[in-house]
Structure 1
């Protein structure tokens, strides 16, 4: 390729870039006024973790340690003791270091009873990193404040006004109505 052709290609590429920028100057900016307009995020997005209790206030977590074993960053610490009143275990300590957490949701995937869930609480900024060491009380409070949460086993669950926990309607679930409207032969295969 000659020098003249290379110069022409460069000028043409610069012209194309400038034309694209010129078109975008007059378009509305895609930004949102964040503190005043909250973003509409999908329910499966992971911003924080919570520990859900049953409707009656009893512990949903069976302290099986699956979440602690599944965590690739090793930020979950659980201590337990045998339940003196019957079978199973009781929680002595359940801590998550939210500073070092990768928010990969491996713990959520590993939980057999969907006790640890993802919630849409991304407004946890703080000047003191020690406040991001989540203990069992903090994780329960996160779940009580959340209006909805996600786990792979139950999908999206919501807390009703009277405190009951229900499965969210199909349009709120991952895949939404598209999953419901699939033809039967597509679902079976």
Structure 2
């Protein structure tokens, strides 16, 4: 019996027949992503970076406290600022994120006292060069504008008002923030 199997290669032919049957007659198990189904991200999903735009000034909400850059485990955030001598406040001149180095941990958005940086729910972005995924301040603000324009509901970040923490313990900006 085993000699006949070896001579006629029955097991190999059975395997090839199964493969042929699956290729020709079985329905595909992949999803036609671009044409029909666009998956909805789960709440808490961390996607493309954005700087929240201040509706009053049109600039970023960032106060250049540098907490996000310090807490980042991959060191992908680079911030430069200047001090306004009249008001005594810092103003961000350069805010850059290297998305290729980012591990999307969300520490930057969690530690921000004024809710200036967010990881949006936008997951469809690619780049053909490294520069395409190196976000500067203007590009981060543009990311926020694009994300908010596409959203049909108000954006709610779980780090802006975390559950279980009394509102009195939150920084003033986090208490007042409504979620644009």
> Shared topology, TM-score over 0.5?
yes
Residue by residue, what CA displacement relative to the aligned partner does 1:124-156 show, whole Å, maximum 9, x if unpaired? 11221211111000100000111336250247x
Q: What SS does structure 1 have at the residue aligned with 2:157? A: strand
Alignment partners' CA distance in 2, 1:106 and 1:35:
31
Change beyond 3 A, Cα 1:44–1:149: same
TM-score normalized with structure 2 length: 0.66
Listed as ranges, the matches of 1:122-133 within 5 Å are 122-133=123-134
Per the alignment, residue 97 of structure 2 pairs with 96
Where in structure 2 are the equivalents of 1:14-93 lying within 5 Å? 29=29, 31-36=30-35, 37-56=37-56, 57-93=58-94
Task: Output the CA distance in 2 between the equivalents of 1:63 and 1:143.
Answer: 18
Which of the pair has more CA radius of gyration? Answer: 2
Contact 2:60 2:141 (8 Å CA) reproduced: no
RMSD across aligned C-alpha pairs, in angstroms?
Answer: 2.6
As a proportion of its length, which structure holds more strand?
1
Unaligned runs of 5+ in 1: 1-25, 156-164, 169-189
Unaligned 5+ residue runs, structure 2?
Answer: 1-25, 163-176
Inter-CA distance 151–94: structure 2 relative to 1 (3 Å threshold) = farther
Separation of aligned partners in 1, 2:123 and 2:145 = 16
| Residues paired across the two proteins, number | 134
TM-score, scaled to structure 1? 0.63
Of 148, 152, 157, the residue aligned with 1:150 is: 157
